[in-house]
Amino acid sequence: MPSGAPSGLDDDPTTQPGLRRGLKNRHIQLIALGGAIGTGLFYGSGQSIGQAGPAILLCYLVGGAAIFMVMRALGEMSVDTPVTGAFSYYAWRNWGERAGFVSGWNYWFNFVAVSMAELTVVGKYVQFWAPGVPAWVSAAAFLVVVTLVNLVSVKAFGEFEFWFAIIKVVAIIAMIVLGALIITTGLGNGGHPIGVENLWVNDGFFPKGLWGVLLGLVIVMFSFGGVELIGITAGEAENPRTTIPRAINQVVWRILVFYVGAVFVMLCLFPW
C-alpha cells in the first residue's frame, strides 16, 4: 500500500472492513433519484425561474447533459473500483495525494453546507403547516432523525431512502399529470384549457437574456446535486458491476424528465 493512502484502503480497496454490501439496484436508483429531486425542485426551482424565466428549461437540458457525461465517467470508475471513497479515492489513486485530499474535504464541506440549507428549507415547510413551530426546532428534529437513519444497517437505510423517495416521485408524477390535464383540458379551470402561452407572453422566452440563463444555470447545477451518490454507494452495493451502470443509465434521464416536466408544467400554469 503506498504511503499517504486514505485510511481504510488496503491493497484491494473493494474489500473495505466494516462495510456490508446490502444495497440493491432499486435502493441505489432511488437514493440518487430522491437525493436530486428534493428541495432543488420543490423549493429551488422558484429561484431559478426568477433568474431566467421560461428559458430555465434550456438550463435544465444543458445541465442534464453535463451531469450525464460526468456520471458516465464516474460510473466507469465505480464499476472498475467500487469503493465508498468514490471520486476522492479515484483522485488520490490516479492524480495524487493532494488531489484526493482536496476532493474529499471539498465534498465534506459541500455536504455540510447543503445539509444545513435543506434543514432550513424543512423548517420553512413545517412552518407553512404549523406556523407556531420555530424553524430551528423542526430542523433539529429532522437532523437527529436523518442521522439515526444513517447509523443503522445499510439495508435498513436503503429501504428508508427507497420508500421516502417513492413518495417524492409519486408526488411529482401526480403534479405533472394533473398539470397537463389543466393545460390541455381545463380541468379545474371551468373547462378552459390554459395552454402554453405563458411560456412567451410575458417578455418572451428569454426575458432576462443570456445573463439570466447563465445565472439560472448555476442554480440548476446546484439542484442536480445528489446524483453523485451512485458513486458513493458503490462500496455498499450488492453487485456494483451490474447495478451501477444500470442505475446511472436510468437515473439521469429520469431526473431530467422529472425536472423538465415539472418545471414545464409550472411555467405553463403560472406566469413566470
Among 153, 13, 35, which residue's Cα sits nearest to residue 94?
Answer: 13
Does pLDDT of 56 surpass 90?
Answer: yes
Query: Coil, strand, or helix at residue 197?
Result: helix
Q: What is the dihedral of CA 232, 233, 235, 237, to 10 degrees?
A: -160
Q: 201-210: which pairs have CB atoms within 8 A and are 24 or more residues apart? A: 201/271, 202/53, 202/271, 202/272, 203/53, 205/53, 205/54, 205/55, 206/52, 206/53, 206/54, 206/55, 207/53, 207/54, 207/55, 207/272, 208/51, 208/52, 208/53, 208/55
Do the beta carbons of residue 267 and residue 54 sit within 8 Å?
Answer: yes
- In this structure, the number of other CB atoms found within 10 A of the CB of residue 200 comes to 13
pLDDT value of position 10: 44
Q: What is the Cα–Cα distance from 232 to 154, expressed in whole angstroms?
A: 13
Mean pLDDT of the chain: 83
Domain boundaries, the chain: 37-269
pLDDT value of position 11: 45
Query: Coil, strand, or helix at residue 207?
Result: coil
Report the pLDDT averaged over residues 18-31: 69
Among 159, 183, 168, which residue's Cα sits nearest to residue 226?
Answer: 168
Report the pLDDT averaged over residues 184-199: 89
The grid coordinates listed for 110 are 459541500
Convert the pLDDT of each residue in 207-222 to its tens digit: 999 999 999 998 888 8
Residue 187, burial from CB neighbour count under 10 angstroms (0-12, 13-18, 19+): middle
Q: What is the Cα–Cα distance from 30 to 60, expressed in whole angstroms?
A: 20
Among 269, 256, 238, which residue's Cα sits nearest to residue 23?
Answer: 238
Report the pLDDT averaged over residues 41-68: 88
Q: What is the Cα–Cα distance from 50 to 202, expressed in whole angstroms?
A: 13
Question: Across-strand partners of 237?
Answer: 23
Convert the pLDDT of each residue in 150-187 to its tens digit: 787 777 778 888 888 888 888 889 999 999 999 999 88
pLDDT value of position 141: 93
Predicted confidence band at 13 (pLDDT cuts at 50, 70, 90)?
low
Comparing 240 with 89, which gets the higher pLDDT?
A: 89
**3-state secondary structure string across 8-29:** CCCCCCCCCCCCCCCECHHHHH
What pTM value is reported for the model? 0.79
Convert the pLDDT of each residue in 237-258 to its tens digit: 777 777 788 778 777 777 778 8
